[in-house]
Structure 1
């Protein structure tokens, strides 16, 4: 229990003095020597700090701290006066600044920093989105690339990003900034798919798909078909649009809703149909009395059709 109490001030000291390298003053003079110590090293499975001095092992501790937390380790003896501190894998494999404080007999007698560098890039982690964009000259998606080493540490450097479709291929060298890089992928004027990836030397990322959808529909025309013009309350009239396209001549997406408004006097009826292969259809039952409808279709807040008039007459039998 007493050792745990002793360690708490040490952890507090490490946390408050991270990044400071000046040893604490007004402490008893203790003769010791670092046999193996480094200020900079690559991330790896094992980092040993070796110390020589006349210490009692049970009173010697090394406090460690990085951006992910703090820890305290005890040494193992190589001989009577040589002590080895092995930094745990959970800290030695993480790139960044690792601060340490050497404590003996409840006094911090030395401290410093080890700059742990990432290894060479082993993986290109990529994110691409949004996964859909509309046909245009201004809409875009974005590919974000994070180069990582084998321990998942972000790395710096440069790599290539590639975007390609059935007709074009664009390759660009991108520099990593603030641990990642990004590049815009602009849409095309035609519907389809764009593929994006990144690579450096023989390391390649996954390929991401970006779907280009049709833009907003332009105005269209409507027509109708029916077997008879009788107002018998039984027959059906079919309303049909022309092939609906966007401003780049792309057929609009299946499932787009088209609303047909039928007006007579001050009464309004509404029916709707979904676009399939660019055409929307809808049906309604003939009225039971003589009537004339004025019909117009809309894709709400986007486009409109022409106006047609449909007359229904009373059969003469």
Structure 2
């Protein structure tokens, strides 16, 4: 009997609580904002409190923060409603809008601000660019400093920042104030080349140095010259083309690796090229001597930027005439020995051509390379069946003609 009475008592209490909660959700609710603070410090606890006539029901607080949006479930202690902002939100600065929601309706709303924590150690992020500029004072690099508190929030507006830069013996310290989270300064190049070093300081916190390279400006016009062992067209030696020390308009030597193109035009208007890259401002190119007398016109270019003077290089013939003989019933032609300007044998590989002519018509052109000054040609009967031929032999720019040669077709 006592157990039945106890169960009935418990059920009555549950029904009373449920009935009371039902009444709270239907009666008109009043909410008074107790938290009058409009500013909170980042990293510290942020609470929004209300006084309400609700004793059990807890509405929700909707938060709109620069970090995101969320619904906060609060607590209700005898009509005192408390909503605590999550730590991830309270660590970040910015304007926070809140909306108190009861029975799916906004019953009140407001805003507050989370400000940077001045007690946290300041940090500075530096950004510098471009990291290379041309000398002359027309190009600049920008130093941007972003000071933050220990929670990575930008410091308050107008916080002083010292921007320092050094170039050779000049050290400049410029005080700037943050605006829109940053402090910045443009630094223009000098007429000289070198490195500009930068660092920043804010609230006695200093940064490491970073640098921008001041590079030579575009090259000015330059001159070229040549050197060679001799002036003969032997097809063997090398002529070396060299530039003067190439500089910009501010007398700075151009960067190593600047490409110089040497354009060579011969007497037949054939265009040749050789290239060189600068080392300490000087570029060199190499040019093989022709195997015949010629006059080269040479000019150097840094494409689209600058050019050199014109240079004329004359190559003299190494011989005025050469020997050639016929043997084996005129079927073998021996050219040479070819001798050079000191009466020495020419280098191996000198080209010799023979034009075979019949009745003033070119039949064939044969070409061979010399070896030990000698070149041999064979006029094969299976291919050349006419009774007579005339020959024109050319080497090292010299052409000599043979007499008409007769052939026995029975041989």
Q: Matches of 1:184 and 1:99 in 2, distance apart?
A: 38
Instruction: Tell me if structure 2 keeps the 8 A contact 1:39–1:115.
Output: yes
Q: CA deviation at 1:37?
A: 4.5
Instruction: List per-residue Cα deviations over 1:269-299 (Å, max 9, x = no partner).
Output: 1111000111100102111111110111011
In terms of mean alpha carbon deviation, does 245-254 or 117-126 score higher?
117-126
Indicate the larger mover: 218-227 or 36-45: 36-45
Aligned to 2:381: none
- Give the 3 Å change call, closer, same or farther, for CA 163–31 of structure 1 in structure 2: same
> How much does 1:135 deviate?
0.9
Q: Which has the higher contact order (CA 8 A, sep 6+)?
A: 1
Report matched runs for 1:55-74 at 5 Å: 55=54, 59-74=58-73
Shift of 1:185: 0.7
Contact 2:226 2:239 in 1 (8 A): yes
SS in 2 for 1:279: coil
Q: Secondary structure at the match of 1:230?
A: coil
Contact 1:59–1:106 under 8 Å retained in 2: no
Tell me what 2:222 maps to.
220
Q: Distance in 2 between matches of 1:67 and 1:284?
A: 69
Instruction: Find the partner of 1:282 among 266, 270, 285.
Output: 285
What secondary structure is seen at the aligned counterpart in 1 of 2:218? coil
1:152 — aligned with what? 152
| Structure 2 unaligned blocks of 5 or more | 1-25, 320-342, 344-411
Residue range with higher mean Cα deviation, 233-242 or 176-185: 176-185
Cα RMSD (Å): 1.9
Query: What is the CA distance between 1:58 and its match in structure 2?
Result: 5.6
Equivalent pair of 1:259/1:300 in contact (CA under 8 Å) = yes
Q: Which runs of 5+ in 1 are unaligned?
A: 1-26
- State the structure with more CA Rg: 2
Structure 1 residues 168-247: aligned runs within 5 Å: 168-247=170-249
Question: 1:22 maps to which residue?
Answer: none
One of 281, 291, 294 as aligned partner of 1:291: 294
- How do 1:1-317 residues align onto structure 2 when only pairs under 5 Å count? 29-55=28-54, 59-77=58-76, 79-120=77-118, 122-155=122-155, 156=157, 157-265=159-267, 266-316=269-319, 317=343
- Cα displacement string for residues 165-188 of structure 1 (whole angstroms, at most 9, x for unaligned residues): 221011111122222222111111
Rounded Cα–Cα distance in structure 1 between residues aligned with 2:105 and 2:306: 79
- How many residues end up aligned between the 2 structures? 290
TM-score (norm. length: structure 2): 0.67
CA pair 29-205 structure 1, distance change in 2 beyond 3 A:
farther
